[in-house]
Structure 1
Amino acid sequence: MADQVNSQITDAVTQSNVKVVGEAPAMAMGNVYQSLAHSIGILMENAVTQQQQASILSQAVTTQCVTTILNSKDGGNK
């Protein structure tokens, strides 16, 4: 008697297993899309930071050039 399992129990377990196996591809693609979105977000953050740093460098170079011109002996006039 202990070796027999109610058929309703085995059906429920089988249906649950089929449901999990059926949903696995969708879950996997969801994980892939979430990882991709995260990576793109980090990429955009890095791009913004790089653009800000380039702008700061450009301003520093311009300031140094203007300072050099203004401190030259002829004041920038020829």
Structure 2
Amino acid sequence: MAGDTPVNSQITDSVTQANVKVLGDAPAESMGTVYQVFAQTVGVSMQNAVGNQQNANTIDTAITTQGVNLLYSLPTATDSRATTEVFSGNSVAETMQALKAAVQAFS
């Protein structure tokens, strides 16, 4: 109990206890806030990762479509021969040429 003061000792004890409680609760409340912010940050990071994957898939689909359109837009054997000469010795280009020839065989 507080000593004799002009204020009732029960009031000073109550105020002292309330101040001690606030000081005692502060670390736990601040850690709770830190954990909430961390959880929110991780959640937003995951949402951004999903969004980036979706955008990358959209771009990949567009690139694949453009590549297939390019393969189908070489209408003559001259274009095919010129393409083969440009990419001669390139295994990827030779594979693409073989695939184009196979597709045209079924057309």
Give TM-score scaled by structure 2 length: 0.66
Structure 2: 5+ residue stretches without partners: 81-99, 103-107
Runs of 4+ in structure 1 off by over 6 angstroms are none
Secondary structure class of the residue paired with 1:21: helix
Alpha-carbon distance in structure 2 between the residues aligned to 1:43 and 1:21: 34
Percent of matched pairs sharing the same residue: 49
Structure 1: 5+ residue stretches without partners: none
Q: Which amino acid aligns with 2:6?
A: Q
| 2:101 corresponding residue in structure 1 | 77
1:1-78 matched pairs, under 5 angstroms: 4-73=6-75, 74=77, 76-77=100-101
Output the aligned Cα RMSD: 1.6
Superposed CA deviations along residues 4-50 of structure 1, whole A, max 9, x for unmatched, are 01010001001100110000000110110111111111101110110
Give TM-score scaled by structure 1 length: 0.89
Q: Which amino acid aligns with 1:52?
A: Q
Higher relative contact order (CA 8 A, sep 6+): 2
Q: Which protein has the larger Cα radius of gyration, Structure 1 or Structure 2?
A: 2
Q: Which amino acid aligns with 1:65?
A: G
Q: Number of aligned pairs?
A: 76
